[in-house]
Amino acid sequence: MNITRITQYQRLSWILLACLIPAAAMTDAGAAGVFPYETHTETLDNGLGVILIPMSSDGLVAYWSVVRTGSRDEFEVGYSGFAHFFEHMMFRGTENYPADAYNEWITKMGADANAYTTDDLTAYHLGIAAEDLEQVMELESDRFRNLAYPEESFKTEAGAVYGEYRKNRMNPFFRIFEAGQEAAFKKHTYGHTTMGYERDIKRMPEMYEYSKGFFSRYYRPDNVVLVIVGDIDPAPTLELIKKHYGDWEPGYVAPQITEEPEQTSERRIDVTYEGRTLPIVALAYKSDRYSPGDRTYVAGALLTELAFGETSDLHKKLVLDEQVVEFVSASMDRSRDPGLFSIFARVKDPEKIDYVIGEIEKTANAYRDNPPDAQRLADAKSRSKYGFLMGLDTPDRVAGQMARIVAITGGVAAVDEYYGTLDAVTAEDVQAAAQRYLENKRRTVAVLKGGS
């Protein structure tokens, strides 16, 4: 593919995107930075974070409640999986709005309500019409303050969560991810997935009283950020928030997370999958916590594409020319604590597993030994910005893009900091990132094979 034509297309897309964003939505900070919308931030007296982002959206509003607690916070032995479990329980209702009444209101408004849990956060999100904003605030503030569920409902939901876990176990990618995390992290809570350890999930029906304590510790205003995006007027919206959330009592208790010891030797595991599947290889190197102002960290994120992405020499060789893998891809965690730089490949021929791992190693060594081509680096930077901006076209996508950053940093300032750092990254920074992250002694290699 012609590099020049890609660059020209990206430039044209940037111009078109700028035309789509109303001038009134641009801020002084946005003119100098990357994030293109005006933002209004506030912290209530009880610690509740508020981020309001007005944008023209034909009367639509995205309403996100970002709880800065995920599976990372499950530090007590035997109690993994509770952050995800509470994602389920939060739809069980309150005395004021039992589950049926809550669902009736959501249906009546034509709203779209959902949630997800990951390692560093739990997010509850609704797509609504602007005229329903206050009613949604009443519903959401009530369930965050007054969640109530009998033990019978708790046990029923615990059974449903275990069923979800068993369903996930049927996916070979979940299996290798689960095994790889546990092998890579011996002390830190990133060692278990969002679902939790199976042994803990099985015991959940017995943990009714513990669940109340979990809710009391983490579901507090000083651990939550509201992100509201769309056709809103910031000043009256903030007053509504104060009205509905102002009397929510603070009391967040920070988890006692054990730091992961430095890894000093390679770890290798074989993962058995009972069903039929092509082999999957995963190489997970230790990386740093999300650091938007650190050039080595940001260069590491670019390295995932340069070395292992769809425009990389490795992809061309293994996927297109030799056709020995279905895909090869890489990512670096954006996490509150040090995470992983992970490379995955699905191998077509079991006899080629060691060969594929060897080719990944050769690529890692090549980037450790030499800086990348300057034009390829410039194109990777451009694609990164372009991809981010093109994901900001609706209120829900704006809030969704911000959720993880808000959970990790508490605000949105990290966006401009990250892309400002990205602009300053040099080819030598990418080489330094490869030297820091792609060390064999700091990696875990997992190979999954299917049954016969």
Whole-angstrom distance, CA of residue 449 vs CA of residue 269: 11
State the pLDDT at residue 354.
98
Residue 128's DSSP bridge partners are: 61
Residue in the structure block whose two tokens are 């060692």? 191
State the pLDDT at residue 33.
77
Whole-angstrom distance, CA of residue 113 vs CA of residue 135: 14
Q: Name the helix (H) or strand (E) containing 212.
A: helix 208-218
Residue 356's DSSP bridge partners are: none
For 355-373, how does the pLDDT look when each residue is reduced to its tens digit (9 = 90+)?
999 999 999 999 999 999 9
Residue 294 pLDDT grade (very low, low, confident, very high; cuts 50, 70, 90): very high
Q: Which of 86, 395, 311 is nearest to 217 (CA)?
A: 86
Q: In the predicted model, is pLDDT for residue 95 greater than 60?
A: yes
Please give the C-alpha separations between residue 208 and each of 71, 142, 149, in angstroms, as whole numbers.
Answer: 18, 21, 10
In the chain, the amino acid numbered 424 is A
- What secondary structure, in 3-state letters, does 265-297 show? CCEEEEEEECCCCCCEEEEEEECCCCCCCCHHH
CB count in 10 Å sphere of residue 249: 10
Q: Which of 98, 160, 179 is nearest to 446 (CA)?
A: 179
List all residues 6 or more positions away from 307 whose beta carbon is below 8 Å from its beta carbon.
314, 330, 363, 364, 366, 367, 434
Whole-angstrom distance, CA of residue 317 vs CA of residue 301: 22
Whole-angstrom distance, CA of residue 102 vs CA of residue 337: 36
Phi, psi of 380 (to 5 degrees): -65, -40
State the pLDDT at residue 32.
54
Residue 16 pLDDT grade (very low, low, confident, very high; cuts 50, 70, 90): very low
CB count in 10 Å sphere of residue 337: 19
Whole-angstrom distance, CA of residue 137 vs CA of residue 143: 10
List all residues 6 or more positions away from 207 whose beta carbon is below 8 Å from its beta carbon.
79, 82, 158
Q: In the predicted model, is pLDDT for residue 64 greater than 80?
A: yes
Q: Which of 318, 302, 432 is nearest to 367 (CA)?
A: 432
Rg (CA), the chain: 23
Q: Which two tokens stand for residue 89?
A: 């329980």
Residue 451 pLDDT grade (very low, low, confident, very high; cuts 50, 70, 90): confident
Q: What is the DSSP string of 325-361?
A: EEEEEEEE---SS--EEEEEEEES-GGGHHHHHHHHH
Residue 289 pLDDT grade (very low, low, confident, very high; cuts 50, 70, 90): very high
Q: How are strands ordered across the β-sheet holding 340-347?
A: 267-273, 443-450, 280-286, 340-347, 325-332
Q: Which of 12, 14, 13, 20 is nearest to 55 (CA)?
A: 20
In the chain, what are the domains? 38-245 (3.30.830.10), 267-450 (3.30.830.10)
SS3 of 143, please? helix
Whole-angstrom distance, CA of residue 166 vs CA of residue 160: 10
Q: Which two tokens stand for residue 165?
A: 């876990």
State the pLDDT at residue 199.
96
- The number of residues making up the chain comes to 452
Residue 18 pLDDT grade (very low, low, confident, very high; cuts 50, 70, 90): very low
- Contact between 371 and 431 under an 8 Å Cβ cutoff? The reply is yes
Phi, psi of 289 (to 5 degrees): -65, 160
Mean pLDDT of 375-389: 95
List all residues 6 or more positions away from 358 whose beta carbon is below 8 Å from its beta carbon.
none
Helices 82-89, 151-168: inter-axial angle, 10-degree rounding: 120
Q: In the predicted model, is pLDDT for residue 176 greater than 50?
A: yes
For 202-215, how does the pLDDT look when each residue is reduced to its tens digit (9 = 90+)?
999 999 999 999 99
